[in-house]
Structure formats: C-alpha cells, structure tokens
Structure 1
Amino acid sequence: MASFTDTLRLPRAFWFVIGAFVVDSMAYFGVLTLMSSYLSSELGWGDVAAGIMVSLFTMSMTLFMLGLGSFAEGFGLRRAILAALALCTVGRLVYSGMGMVHGGVAVTAAVIAAIFVTAVGEAILQPVCYSGVKQYTDEKTSVMGYALIYAIMNALIVAAGTLSAWIRPAVQDVKDGHATTGGFVGWLAGVTPSGIDAVNWVFTGVTALTFVGFFVVFTRKAEAEKLRPDPAEEQRLGATKPRLARLKEYFTEGPFRNPRFLFFIFMLLPVRTLFAHQWLTFPQYILRAYDKDVADHMEWLVNWINPGVIFIGVPLTAALTKRINVYTMMIVGSLVSALPTFLLVGGPDLTRLITYFVVFSIGEALWSARFLEYASELAPPGRVAQYMGLANIPWLLAKGTTGFYSGYMLSRYCAEGVPPAQQHTGTMFLIYGCIAMLSPIGLFAARKWVMAGLHTARAPARAAN
C-alpha cells in the first residue's frame, strides 16, 4: 500500500508529464487502430501497401527515438514536450484532412509526409516523458511511477476505444442512410466523408487540446521541481567533443558493450510481433471475419480488453513482483503472452477471441513495465532517453518486419469481401503463434548465460545515480 501512497507526494510536474504522454497516447492509439483500414479502404491503397505504410510509421517512430529523443531531451522537458505535441497536432491535421480529398499523387505524398511528421513528434515525446518520470520520482517511487504511466496510458486507450466504437459506426450509418441523428455525431457525419475519418478528426482535436493544456499548466516553476535532475541539457550546452566523436561514443559505451543485455532485449522481438498485430491484423480480422454486430464493436475488443487488463494488472504486478528477477519475469510473461495465440487456430469464435486478449494481456502485465523500469534505471545521468531508445530497438524491428508480411497474410487468409467460411484465418494465427513462442524458448535456453552478466551491467548505473 505504501507504494501507492508514496506517489501522492510526488511533485505536480510528475502528473503533468504523465498527463501529456497518456492523453496523446489515447489519440495515437485511436488513430493507429484504424490506420490500416483508413489507408487500405478509405484511401484505396490495398492491404499490402497499407500494412507496409503502417509498419514504416511505427518503425520510424522507434528509430527516431534513438537520436531525436535523446537530442530533444537536452533542450529541457517543457520545450521538448511542447515541440513533440505541436508536431503530432500538425501531422494528424494533415492526415485527417486527406480523407476529404480525392486520391492522387499529391494526396499520397501529403499522407506519407503527415505520417512521418507525426512519427517524429511521437519519437520525441515518449523517451522525454519517461525521462521526466525518472526526474520527478526517486529510487523509492520509480517502480510505481513507471507502472502508473503505463497503466494510465492503457486506461485512456480504453477510453479511445469507447469513443471510436461509438463514433465510427454511428457516423457511418448516417453516411450510408441507415440512421439519422443530430448532435455531435450528426455534425461529424455532415463534415467528414466516413466514420473512420470522423474518428481521425476527433483525435486530432484531442492532440491539439493536449498541447494547449500542457502549455498552460507546465510552467517553468513546475518544471524546476525535480527530485533527480537529469543533466542532459547542461551536457548539450557544454558539449566540446566533435559531433562524430559524440556519435561514436553513443554507440560504444553503456549497454552496447554488454552482449547479454543486447541478447536480453532482442530476444523479446518475436513475442513483440503480437503487439504489432494489435493494429496491423486484428482490426481488419475482426471487421472481415465476424458479423456486423461484432465488427461494429471492434474497438471494444482491440482497445478495451488489453488496456483494461494492463490498467489493473501492471500496478499490482509491479508492487507484487518488484523483488522477483526481471529476467524471470520476461520468460514467464512472454510465455503467457504467446501461448493464447493458438486458441485462434480453430477459426473465428468470439469466446476464444476474448480469451486470447485477456490471457495475452496478463502476460504483458507481468513484464512490460518492469522491463521499461530496468532500462531506465540502468541509464547513467544524461542518457535516460538513449537507454530507453535502445530498449525500444526490438519494437523497431518488430514493427518494421511485421507490417511487411501482415498485409500479405491478410490478403491471403482473411481477404476483404471473402466470406468467413472461405477464409483460412487459423493458418495465419498458427504461423503467428509459432513466431511468438521463439521468445520464451530462447530466453529460457540462454537464462544461465544472460543472468550471469546482467547484474554487472546494472552496477555502474546505480553508482552513477
């Protein structure tokens, strides 16, 4: 209980940083869940091109974190977060606006540009906000601080799913002439071309309001209330080494020199492909393989169950398992996440689908926040964003590889317009389950070698702190 009450005494800036990140994350996942459908059906790109574009978006966001997040941290939390939110707002504004324009080379180019502008904003926001969590917590409250940001983010993803599941079918029914309504939904139906685009515009507004709110409440005075100041800004201003030397130092120091830590984070790549399928595969799968009643509530399945379990489970597991070795939690959690994929081999079934989401999410709750906390606490002063960026490399590869085959798999095993009885979704999920199982198997097989050296990587970080 003390773990929870201690966080109530943290500086108000802690909550402002969390607020900026989690509200923007609500908008991010609200748009991302429908991005494949928007590009494939609304803009006419097709499954393969849409899957590749979504993959490039999420991959580039993680890639940008490695450099831009660390670089932006040196300009101070307030300026970095405001710049990130501004970029996300502009990117989503253009992205949503292109749904109202007929297709063409110019529209395609504008959509691609908007997607990458948003990726830059998100790449700055996440590592800087996680650095902020470290700066506004101490060693006693850091575990719960990271658990809270992860849990609250998932709570707002549930809210995003609720909002999307209400707006998308309601607006689309009005557009199709199946219903009439006034109020907000009626207004959206009158000014947007589709239910999906209406959702895009709503979350563009959410991002813009987040920027305005953060600008007002996160004052210089609030920013100064740090418990563990990070010297990144001073290091940037006082840097005397040539840029090339600093770049070499970036890749030759810290965790890059520890093969066990690198194996540790990269072995999580296969199971992370299941996270990418949350937006690359499951929305399209549910919209195509299930009846209209289930399809109209797709966001409830994709954006309710997983974030809901995470919201409740992450703080509890963080408090109950903080004394358990991180590596052990990775093995158990990745196994629990991977196994339920085989439930979907039997074909579309709502009960099995819900069970999959629940069990998969329990596995995520067991290890996700602990891993982020470990990577951040490992970092010496001034390099939190760098270490967080490195910890996200498996995300980069999972997002980058998954999208290059998910569209093809959908077009072959769950094609649009093909009756569910003629689809072969079970084969698709059998392949995905086998890929995911490589993580717990690999982690377990190498456990003695990895655990023998991980503690030596952490010791310098504790001394530096």
Structure 2
Amino acid sequence: MKMMEPEEVPLKEDKYIPMSPMEMYKKSYGDLFKAPRDLWLLFIIKFCLYGSFSTFLSALAIYITEVEGYSDGTLSLAFGLIGGSGLVFIILFGSFNDRYGIRFTLIIGSFAASIPFIVISFNRNIYINIIVMMIPGSFSIALLGSALETGIKYYTHIHYRTLALSFYSAISYISLIGGGLLLQILMYIGDKDYSTFRIIFLYCAINCMIALVLSYFLRQLDYSTFEEVEVSTKKAFNKSNWTFIRETIVTKKFWRFAAVIFILLLIKIIFFQQSIVLPIYMYRDMGDDSNYGFMIVLNQVIIIITLPLFSYLIYFYAAYDIFIIGGSIAVISVLPFIYGANYYTIVSYIVLSSLAESLYSPRLVEYAFEVSPKGKEGIMIALVGLITILGTILSGIVGGILLGDFCPEDGQRHCWLMWLIIGVIPLPGLLVLFLARKYLEEPLFEAQPFVSFASEAKHY
C-alpha cells in the first residue's frame, strides 16, 4: 500500500508592518492614561503650585503700588531682589532633586513656598515681606521647577513623554487663567485694600499646603526602566553638592546644551514682550489698552489647544529642528507691526508668537532629558530655569530702553521700529543655531565626552 505524502503547505512569512505616525500618536494617548498614579498626582501638584505663583505675581504689582502705596522704583527693586536671589538659589540647589529625590524635594519646596504667602497674609512690613520672598520664596522656586519637570521623565515611558510634557505645559496656562479670574472676581466684588489681597495670599498658601500633602504620596520611580518599583537616590546623596555638579559641568554635552539654551533665551525675548511692551504699546500708539487682557487670554487659549496637537510633530522632526522652526515663526510674528497699530496686527502677533511658543516649549524640557547624564536631569532643568530668569530680566531692560527711544509717552513715535528691533535681536542666535548645528546638536555617539580642561579627559 502506497503511503500518502503529506500535503506540502508553503510556509507563511510573518511580515512586520511598522505603525504609522498617526497610529503611534493615537497610541500615545492610550498609553498616557495608563501611566502610574504618580504622574497624575504630579499634574495636580503642578496646578496647585503654579496657581499660587501666577496668582501671587499677578497681584503683587497692584498690591505694592496701589494698596501699600509704594513707588514704581520700589516695585522694580522688589522684583530685582527676588529675581537675583532666585538666580543664586538655582545655582546652589539645582542638583537638590537629583540627590534627594522628587518626593522629598517637592515636600520641602512646597513648605518653603507657603511661608511668604502666610507671612504676607498677616504682616504688612514691606522689608520683612521682601526678605521672605527672597529667601524661602526663591529657594522654593529653585527646588520645585526642577523636581516637577524631572518627575515627568521618571513617571513616563519615552513614547508618550512628549504628550505628557504638552499636558504639563498646558497646566501652567490653565492655572494662570484661573489665578487671573480669581483676581478679577475679588477686585470686582471687593476693594483694592489689604483685606481683599489677604484672601488672595491665603488662597496661595492653601494651594501650597495641598501640594505638600499630595507630594507625600509620590514614589521615587524610574518608570521607563523598572516600571513601578521604587528606586534609591542614596548613591547621589552620598556625594557632595560640588562633586555632583562638577561631574556634569565637565562634560561637553553640558556646554553644548548651555549654548543652545542661551540662543533660545534671545528668541524668548519676543514672547516676554507680550507682558512687558505690549500693554504700554497699546496704550501709547492706540490710546486703548482695555482689551489687553483679552489678548493674553487669547495667547493662553491658543497654547493650551495647540500643545497636545503639536506633540504629533515628534514623529517627523527632532527637537533641534523644532527650535529652528519655532524660532523662525517667533521672528516673523513681529512683522505685522510694520503696518501700524491696530487689533489686526496685534492679534497676528499674538497668534504667531503663541504658535511658536507651543511648538518648542515642551520640546525644550524633553531635549534637556535627552542630553542629560542619567540621574543629573535636575541640573540641566535648573539651567533652563536660570536662563528663563535671566531672560525675564534682559527682556525688561530691552523693552524699557526701546519704549523710551522709539515709543515714548510724549514726543515723536516710531513704535513699528521698536518691534522690528525686537524681531532682529534673536536673528544672530537663530543663524548660529542653523549654521553651527554639527557642533551644537547632541551627537548619537561621543568617544571622548569630557571637555579638554577636565582631568577625566586625560583617560581618553
């Protein structure tokens, strides 16, 4: 009997079909909602803390000049002292989060942040109030910004981290709108007196205490590597602060990143002028600043809407590309002012500059994560904070000089030329960013990672 040969069936080759960018983008939303509870706690903590800071800063100028009756010079001095002490504390404590962990840093930072609000709620001595804003207040800012943003890295997977950063950035603008609305409501139903502002300061203090309590429930994770298993920062804690910082600043990647951040500082001058120059420009060149508040709300709404949408671009462009694209749009945003002062040109500026800001704002933090040595993200994030404070100070100086020269209160005005100069200031940096890309962008591999003057370089 002849045996039947088994029927030969050709083997089917399994083909891997990669996901399209849109499929990956949709998947990032689903995975984001599966992130550990710590990420969502961090978002709430961020909302509370930034709600406090934004409300306080919005109220501070009115409180000092109109409630306490101090001069504009005293107001400028107060902001200068607070900003100066902030720079010092960021330099000294930029590595605090890396050495002591996210939870402990947020607990200490939230407690320190509540002190100025509590003191000002029950004390009217301007000198005591400035001191508590300079010391515990600035100390808290040095800790909190770094810890919050570093937490995004350690509570997410890399494939949805950009989306998480977009939501994180949007929370800042939502809290800013909330603080502005609270201030407007209290000013409407009450008077510009100490009792009204005491409610605002107590609101800020309560927000900080809520953040402190929530921080206690955070865990020290490295979610992308160890999922929800807690990790230790003991190794970093055993090093001195200087040793820890030195290990970062002797690397080439630190100085490349510092150069990129400094260039982006010049671009951010355009964004800062929304708060510094724009309201005065509207009053002097149009004779009407009553709708300035609507312009700022428009800015925040555009950013809140576009931040998550623009996270889709990570599948097509590297962070460095986004910096160049966003910077170019920012420079273009001031060009409508050439056609004179009206709401068409102002809205055009707001729309374009808002789009530029929402393009690169979350990518800046993510780029800091990408170039940071493992466990030293806090130092790089602190560098971003340092540059932001310097940018605010520099923008105030530049805006004040240009207003006086080209858009004075009395005399002949050439306000369009002022805006043109503001747009020209970032151009050299933008050109350097483009032409020196091979030197500034982080390479995929580096055989010798240390700067030449470092002792570590001798071993390579």
One fold, TM greater than 0.5? yes
Q: Flag the 1:434–1:92 CA change in 2: closer, same or farther, 3 A.
A: farther
CA RMSD, Structure 1 to Structure 2 (Å): 3.5
Query: 1:16 offset after TM fit, Å?
Result: 1.1
Question: Is this contact kept in 2: 1:52–1:403, CA < 8 A?
Answer: no
* Aligned counterpart, 1:151: 170
**Does 2:260 correspond to 1:267?**
no
**Does 2:87 correspond to 1:89?**
no
What letter matches 1:119 in structure 2? S
Name the CA distance, whole Å, in 2 between partners of 1:414 and 1:35. 26
Alignment of 1:286-301 (within 5 A): 286=282, 294-295=289-290, 297-301=291-295
Q: What whole-Å deviation, never above 9, does each CA across 1:365-423 have from its counterpart, x for those lacking one?
A: 111111211112322332110121223443243223223343454566666xx57x976
Alignment of 1:350-365 (within 5 A): 350-365=343-358
Q: What whole-Å deviation, never above 9, does each CA across 1:206-229 have from its counterpart, x for those lacking one?
A: 432323323444444x42565257
**Does 2:205 correspond to 1:208?**
yes
Name the CA distance, whole Å, in 1 between partners of 2:121 and 2:426. 34
Q: Flag the 1:281–1:34 CA change in 2: closer, same or farther, 3 A.
A: farther
* Aligned counterpart, 1:255: 253
Give the alignment partner of residue 342 of structure 2, picking from 330, 343, 349: 349
* Aligned counterpart, 2:57: 32
What letter matches 1:279 in structure 2? S
* Aligned counterpart, 1:439: 429
* Aligned counterpart, 1:331: 324
Name the CA distance, whole Å, in 2 between partners of 1:94 and 1:282. 33
Q: What whole-Å deviation, never above 9, does each CA across 1:230-262 have from its counterpart, x for those lacking one?
A: 9673134333xx555445334213623x5x433
Q: Flag the 1:333–1:91 CA change in 2: closer, same or farther, 3 A.
A: same
Query: 1:46 offset after TM fit, Å?
Result: 5.1
Q: Flag the 1:373–1:381 CA change in 2: closer, same or farther, 3 A.
A: same
Give the alignment partner of residue 398 of structure 1, picking from 378, 391, 401: 391
Q: Which has the higher contact order (CA 8 A, sep 6+)?
A: 1
* Aligned counterpart, 2:46: 21
Alignment of 1:378-393 (within 5 A): 378-393=371-386
Give me the TM-score of the superposition, normalised by structure 1. 0.77
Q: Flag the 1:97–1:246 CA change in 2: closer, same or farther, 3 A.
A: same
* Aligned counterpart, 1:237: 237
Question: Is this contact kept in 2: 1:22–1:153, CA < 8 A?
Answer: yes
Partner-residue secondary structure (3-state), 2:426: helix
Q: What whole-Å deviation, never above 9, does each CA across 1:60-116 have from its counterpart, x for those lacking one?
A: 435533432421443332332122222222223445667xx5xxxx62463354255
Name the CA distance, whole Å, in 2 between partners of 1:385 and 1:458. 25
Query: 1:10 offset after TM fit, Å?
Result: 1.0
**Matched residue count:** 420
* Aligned counterpart, 2:17: none
Name the CA distance, whole Å, in 1 between partners of 2:338 and 2:60. 25
Instruction: Note the residue ranges of structure 2 that are not aligned, 5 or more in a row.
Output: 1-25, 450-460
Q: Flag the 1:244–1:384 CA change in 2: closer, same or farther, 3 A.
A: closer
What letter matches 2:32 in structure 1? T
Question: Is this contact kept in 2: 1:62–1:389, CA < 8 A?
Answer: no
Name the CA distance, whole Å, in 2 between partners of 1:224 and 1:139. 17
* Aligned counterpart, 2:96: 71
Question: Is this contact kept in 2: 1:56–1:399, CA < 8 A?
Answer: no
Question: Is this contact kept in 1: 2:66–2:192, CA < 8 A?
Answer: no
What letter matches 1:144 in structure 2? L
* Aligned counterpart, 1:455: 444
Query: 1:426 offset after TM fit, Å?
Result: 3.5
Q: What whole-Å deviation, never above 9, does each CA across 1:121-166 have from its counterpart, x for those lacking one?
A: 1221111011111111122232222121112222222333333344
* Aligned counterpart, 1:126: 145
Query: 1:286 offset after TM fit, Å?
Result: 4.9
What letter matches 1:192 in structure 2? Y
Question: Is this contact kept in 2: 1:55–1:404, CA < 8 A?
Answer: no
Partner-residue secondary structure (3-state), 1:137: coil
Give the alignment partner of residue 305 of structure 2, picking from 309, 312, 329: 312
Name the CA distance, whole Å, in 2 between partners of 1:82 and 1:422. 54
Question: Is this contact kept in 2: 1:27–1:206, CA < 8 A?
Answer: yes
Question: Is this contact kept in 2: 1:72–1:80, CA < 8 A?
Answer: yes
What letter matches 2:249 in structure 1? F
Name the CA distance, whole Å, in 2 between partners of 1:96 and 1:348. 41
Instruction: Note the residue ranges of structure 1 that are not aligned, 5 or more in a row.
Output: 171-184, 461-465
Partner-residue secondary structure (3-state), 1:141: helix
Question: Is this contact kept in 2: 1:314–1:365, CA < 8 A?
Answer: yes
Q: Rg: which structure is higher? A: 2
What letter matches 1:438 in structure 2? P
Name the CA distance, whole Å, in 1 between partners of 2:282 and 2:41. 36
Name the CA distance, whole Å, in 2 between partners of 1:282 and 1:145. 31
Question: Is this contact kept in 1: 2:107–2:216, CA < 8 A?
Answer: no
Q: What whole-Å deviation, never above 9, does each CA across 1:174-212 have from its counterpart, x for those lacking one?
A: xxxxxxxxxxx23xx28537xxxx4x5455334323233
Partner-residue secondary structure (3-state), 2:156: coil
**Does 2:269 correspond to 1:279?**
no
Question: Is this contact kept in 2: 1:26–1:160, CA < 8 A?
Answer: yes
* Aligned counterpart, 2:16: none
Name the CA distance, whole Å, in 2 between partners of 1:254 and 1:331. 22
- More divergent stretch after superposition (331-340 vs 116-125): 116-125
